[in-house]
Amino acid sequence: MKISPARAAAFDALCRVERDAAFATDALDSRLEALEKRADSALATELTLGVLRWQRLLDFFLSRFTKQRLDSLDAEVLLALRLAIYQLRFLSRVPDAAAVNDSVELVKRARKSSAAALVNAVLRRAARDPCIRRPAEALLPPELAAAERFGILYSHPTWLVERWLSRYGEEATRRLLEANNRPPRLTAAVLDPERVAELRVALANAGFHVAPGRCLSFALEFRGLPRGGIQRLRDELRAGRMILQDEASQMIPLLADAQPGQRVLDLCAAPGGKTARLSCCVGQGTVVGADLHLHRLRQTRELLSRLGITNVSLLALDATRPLPFAVCFDRVLLDAPCSGTGTLARNPEIRWRLKPGDLSALAAKQRALLCHGLAYLAPGGRLVYSTCSLEPEENHQVVAAALAESRGARILGGQAALMPHLLPRIEAAALFDALGYFQTLPGRDATDGFFAAVIEVPPSR
């Protein structure tokens, strides 16, 4: 039987995420290029990211339809089952038979034919059972603890839910979990604010539905893509007119308040979006963009070249070790490697890979990066430490530990640096907590979850 191209693409992407620990967006992008129809691309994207977002709930339902332990199944078999269960539960316009039959064929295609009968029986049982479309809460034991209940209903690991419940409370945690299961907004940063109106008109004439950003004056939001929209959007990006970037991420380099002529260090520069903004801010100044991985620096170089940026020098280095510079910098940006718990809507696979012990290991690396960055900050200079994590171990605690080792460094409020770029309806103070730290939350701000601390060293040390 011929398998739907969309389901085949989604299955292949899911297998790569599982087998190679690839990011879902990377695994999916390489499959979407081979799909000719817009509808196939949309369905493949929906299936891939939907299965990853709802994996725990899908397994909860699967366990009702098979007596086998799910962890005893081959990965390809389990993925084919999840793919069909997702369609049965969430996609009312997809015929049950199509979802079931294609998953059976995908198992055969993956050379797991011995499991085809099992997959067929489990999925036909599921398709007949009315509970597949009932509210999941009605199927849970009433005595189940809140973290476990939320973990199943909103498909997150219990340990993460427990952390957020203790920190945010039940209602805010529910909003966060719901936001993590919605497709994120597709937003872009226009590097030249004077061209925003012109670019909106050009994109509208090309068939894109483009609205202003919700927070920033130079941000654009894409609301649906026209026929061939993915490829046409790539063409716009290659033309150097904008960068796809979440609005919270766009705010991070603005907090540095880099001025024309200054010397700036971007310690973890790849993939280059924040570096590009810093470059525009300093004009005839210089930016040094550093990163540990050469292949990511190559991606950064390609982006900067496409944008026509020439005042950035790229350097491969391990910033957890003392830095090799003979000069200090007026501004330092450290967008540190982190758990990514603020980006689970965009990168749903992270929630299943991350373990509690990972946070302490990440924090140790982040503290080293921050201390080395502070060591090369010129007197009177400003460093921005940021993550796309919601976890205090990677945020407040890292900053507190570094400040304790850096004599005279202090936290600055970053509201003044943001205010010229925010839309009139956005209050800068609402983006900062009581301690002066920048913080966005997916369930509150309709952005990724970002943290940032703006740190200043005294004019003379």
Q: Catalytic amino acids?
A: 388
- 306 three-class SS: helix
CA torsion 245-248-251-255 (nearest 10°) is -140
d(CA 351, CA 340): 9
Question: Burial letters for 318-328: b for 16+ Cβ neighbours within 10 Å, e otherwise?
Answer: ebeeebeeeee
Quote the strand ranges of 245-341, DSSP E.
263-266, 286-291, 312-316, 329-335
* C-alpha to C-alpha distance for 35 and 360, rounded to whole angstroms: 42
Between CA 184 and CA 171 the distance in angstroms is: 20
Give the per-residue SS3 of 369-434: HHHHHHHCEEEEEEEEEEECCCCHHHCHHHHHHHHHHCCCCEEECCHHHHHHHECCCCCHHHHECC
Dihedrals φ, ψ of 219, to 5°?
A: -100, 150
Using an 8 Å Cβ cutoff, are 152 and 62 in contact?
no
Number of H helices, E strands in the chain: 20, 12
- CA separation (Å) from 424 to 281, 331, 419, 420, 421? 22, 27, 9, 9, 9
Q: Pick the closest to residue 177 from 200, 207, 202, 152 (CA basis).
A: 152
Contact (CB, 8 A) for 341 and 389: yes
User: For the residues of 42-94, what is the DSSP string, one character each?
Assistant: HHHHHHHHHHHHTHHHHHHHHHHH-SS-GGGS-HHHHHHHHHHHHHHHH-TTS
